[in-house]
Amino acid sequence: MIWLLAAQRFPPPEFTETGHSLPGFLAPLPRGPWLEHLDVAVLVGALALASWLALRHRSRRGIVALGIFSVLYFGFWRKGCICSIGSIQNIAQGLADSSFGVPATVLVFGLAPLVFALVFGRVFCSAVCPHGALQDLMLLKPVSVPVWLEHGLRLIPYTYLGLAMIFAATGGGYIICQYDPFVTIFRLSGSALMVSCGIGLLVLGIFVGRPYCRFLCPYGVLLGMASNFSKWRVRITPDTCTQCRLCEQSCPFNAINASTVETPSRTVKTDKRRLAAMILLLPVLLGLGGWLGGVTGKHLAGRHRTVHLAERVYLEESGAAKGTTDASAAFRITGAPVESLYADARMVQDRYVLAGRLCGLWIGLVVGGKLIVLAIRRKRHDYEADQTRCVACARCFRSCPQELQRLGLPVPEGAPLAPPS
């Protein structure tokens, strides 16, 4: 097949009889920049409102209403793109590749929720993120996930974050965008696989609270880490906790940490030894992760367009594969030397090895860190919302008798009350 670049084979016409003039053609413009500014304003406004609703006003109804607004605006109106979850990939690529520009809108979308999380906690997740709000609305019959299982599954979003960073930074594509299940719902179209995943997650979300947020969302990792150090945070009780246990089963997301039951002191020694073992294990995990990440990284490079093309061209050149693909045929038309393609692909592979090592180190750090944290003896006096996992959904407030008292609602019989502070 000979593909020739367009040549002007036929001369321009001369309309001598009719004097016909050439028609122009339409060039519809993309949506104007002011709409981008509007999006940013709405985002920041919604974040502020969510913070106030969750921390100050303490209103579940308000959170739900804001959530519905976010689903409608950020979800169905803006079709779920640009979103904060995906924007971290743009930022990663911008930091790694100096020729890649990140527009200001994307920067704000990526960083504003993190800033709010540093100050107020995960208010983004509560009612501003359309994915989270959608899942929140779907939750009808919460089934509790065992806490230990939740801890294990939490490794997935950390891994997803690491992988997303690898691919974004090396120019291998945005896997968060490619595998986002909810954007197909917002756009009302998509590949059959992704639509089914979206529907599947929604159905799952009827029973398991916020499955994407807890077990998949890579941005949630960052929000959780930021929220850990927030200045103000969601409190279950408006003032004092009486350890009445009434809020224990009110959180569908396992985000309430109960007060610690007295543990026998004979276990102190084993606990201390275990903690030491976990600390010693950390460098081992870092080494193992870094090494394995580098090895795997080289193979992940096959996902990058250049490497994929180079591999295909090499197979054709050495006779191991017959015929050409669209991509290899397009490459050969350009007439570029094969050796330069191989050289480019090797450079990309090297980037992937480095990125893989970093990702492996990251996962090793996360696993090691989790094991250490799980080995620490903690003493907690009150029932608290977990700093990392609480998404500020405001479901737990109404179960606290102090809150009911504050609102002037009838308190259940026998519920202990502390004098309001």
Partner 1 sequence: MNGTLRFYHLALAIAIASGLFVLLTGGLLAFNEVRGKVSMLVNSKQVVRLHDELRSRPKDEELKLRIRQLDLELRRETFYRLQLSRNASRALLGGLAVFLASAHFVRSSRRRLPDPLAWGARKAGEQRRTAALARYAVAGAFALVAATAVAVSTRPLNLPGPAASAPDATDPNGAPHPDSQAGHPSPVSPLPSAEEMQQQWPSFRGPNGSGVASNATVPVMWDAKTGTNILWKSEVPLPGLSSPVVWGNAVFVTGADESQSSVFRFDADTGALAWSATIKLPGGARPPKPEVGEETSLAAPTPVTDGRRVYALFPTGEIAAFDFSGKQVWARNIGPLENQYGYASSLAIYQDRLLVQIDRGQAEDGQSRMLALNTQTGQPLWEVKRDVAGSWSSPVVLDVNGQPQLIACASPFVIAYNPVDGKELWRNKCLESDVAPSPVLAGNMLVAVAPNTAIVGLHPGATETAWKIAEGAPDATSPVSDGQRLYVVESSGMLTCYDIQTGKVVWTHDLDNMFYASPAIAGNALILVSRKGNSWVLETGDAYKELGKGEIGEECCASPVPLGKRLFVRGKTNLFCIEAK
Partner 2 sequence: MRRRDFVRAASAVGLGGVVAALIRRANAGDTVWQIDPWKCTQCGLCATACVLEQSAAKCVHSFDMCGYCRLCTGYFEPQPNKLDTAAENQLCPTGAIFRTFVEDPYYEYTIDEPLCVGCAKCVRGCTMFGNGSLHLQIRHDICVRCNECSIARACPADAIHRVPSAEPYKFKNREQK
| Residues of this chain that bind partner 2 (CB under 8 A) | 3-13, 15-18, 20, 22-30, 33, 36, 79, 81-83, 86-87, 89-91, 94-95, 100-105, 107, 111, 114-115, 118, 173-174, 177-178, 184, 187, 189-190, 226, 229-231, 305, 325-327, 329-330, 333
**3-state SS class at 384:** strand
Residue 335: count other Cβ atoms within 10 Å of its Cβ. Answer: 6
Query: Residue 384's beta-bridge partner residues?
Result: 257
Q: Tell me, residue by residue from 57 to 96, as one string, x for binding to partner 1 by CB under 8 A and - for no binding.
A: -------------------x--------------------
Q: Which residues 6+ apart lie within 8 Å of 145 measured at CB? A: 153, 208, 254
Q: Please pick, from the candidates 33, 101, 412, 420, the single residue that binds partner 1 as defined by CB under 8 A.
A: 412
d(CA 330, CA 111): 40
d(CA 365, CA 371): 10
Please choose which of partner 1, partner 2, none residue 12 contacts, taking the beta carbon within 5 to 8 angstroms, the exact cut-off set by kind.
partner 2
C-alpha dist (Å) from residue 145 to 249, 251, 252: 12, 11, 9
Q: At what angle do helices 84-96 and 104-120 cross, to 10 degrees?
A: 110
Q: Which residues 6+ apart lie within 8 Å of 125 measured at CB? A: 132, 213, 220, 223, 391, 392
261 binding partner 1? (CB under 8 A): yes
Q: Please pick, from the candidates 276, 343, 409, 417, the single residue that binds partner 1 as defined by CB under 8 A.
A: 343
CB of 253 or CB of 331, closer to partner 2: 331
Site for partner 1 in 215-244 (CB under 8 A): 244
Q: Please pick, from the candidates 52, 179, 207, 314, the single residue that binds partner 1 as defined by CB under 8 A.
A: 314
159 binding partner 1? (CB under 8 A): yes
CB of 56 or CB of 377, closer to partner 1: 377
In the complex, minimum distance from the CB of residue 103 to partner 1, in angstroms, rounded to a whole number: 30
In the complex, minimum distance from the CB of residue 107 to partner 2, in angstroms, rounded to a whole number: 6
The piece of 50-58, 111-119, 125-133, 142-150 that touches partner 1 (CB under 8 A) is 142-150
Site for partner 1 in 33-52 (CB under 8 A): none
Query: Residue 256's beta-bridge partner residues?
Result: 385
What's the gap between Cα 411 and its chain centre? 39
Residue 58: count other Cβ atoms within 10 Å of its Cβ. Answer: 20
Please choose which of partner 1, partner 2, none residue 410 contacts, taking the beta carbon within 5 to 8 angstroms, the exact cut-off set by kind.
none
The piece of 11-19, 23-31, 47-55, 317-325 that touches partner 1 (CB under 8 A) is 317-325
* C-beta of residue 210 within 8 angstroms of C-beta of residue 359: no
Structure-block tokens of residue 145: 């996930």
* C-beta of residue 67 within 8 angstroms of C-beta of residue 133: yes
